[in-house]
Amino acid sequence: MADKADKADKAKILVVEDEEILLTALKEELETGGYQVGGAVDGQDGLDKVKAFKPDLILLDLVMPKMDGMEMLRKLKENNETRDIPVVILTNLSDYERISEVLSLGAMDYLVKANYKLEDLLEKVKTVIARKAGNM
């Protein structure tokens, strides 16, 4: 197990995904890639976890029960404490209208689930976190 100093250096990623198998796979892949990872199963759970976990990046599914990803993204961007956290949308949709809507709401990027491999996700995460670090 990594010591506390090592854990503090790791970027924190919150995965908000209602499909448990996918959530588990994403968490394992990101942890293997050296990230500290939290998980949430819907938008409300995600908002609660953002406050406690304080992620450096959020991977956000759009279609979820209770509160969908679109609503969670709106709430994140309306809040001064969370508006600057980069969000990458995970979606099954190849519905470009919704994708352009989430990008206009402030999502940094998106991945269509059927079109990427877990390694692609790691590359996207590295890029977004590097971009965020460069902006500070």
Q: pLDDT, tens digit, for every residue of 52-73?
A: 999 999 999 998 999 999 999 9
Q: Does any domain span residue 65?
A: yes
If we measure between CA atoms, which residue out of 116, 93, 109 comes closest to residue 26? Answer: 116
The answer to whether residue 4 sits within a structural domain is no
Q: Which domain holds residue 87?
A: 11-130
Pair 44, 19: CB distance under 8 Å: no
Please check whether residue 2 lies inside any domain of the structure.
no
**What tokens were used for 108?**
């940094």
Classify residue 5: in a domain, yes or no. Answer: no
37 near 15, Cβ under 8 Å? Answer: yes
Mean pLDDT score of the chain: 88
Q: Residue type for 3, please?
A: D
Residue 77 burial by CB count (10 A; 0-12/13-18/19+): exposed, middle or buried? middle
Domain annotation covers residue 106:
yes
64 within some domain = yes
Q: Is the pLDDT of residue 43 over 80?
A: yes
pLDDT in the model for residue 91: 83
The CATH number for 60's domain is: 3.40.50.2300
CB atoms under 10 Å from CB of 130, counted, come to 11
Tens digits of residue pLDDT in 2-32: 444 445 578 999 999 999 999 999 999 999 9
32 inside domain = yes
Query: Could you give the number of structural domains in the chain?
Result: 1
Assigned domain for 66 exists: yes
- Per-residue pLDDT tens for 31-42? 999 999 999 999
What percent of the chain lies above the pLDDT cut of 70? 90
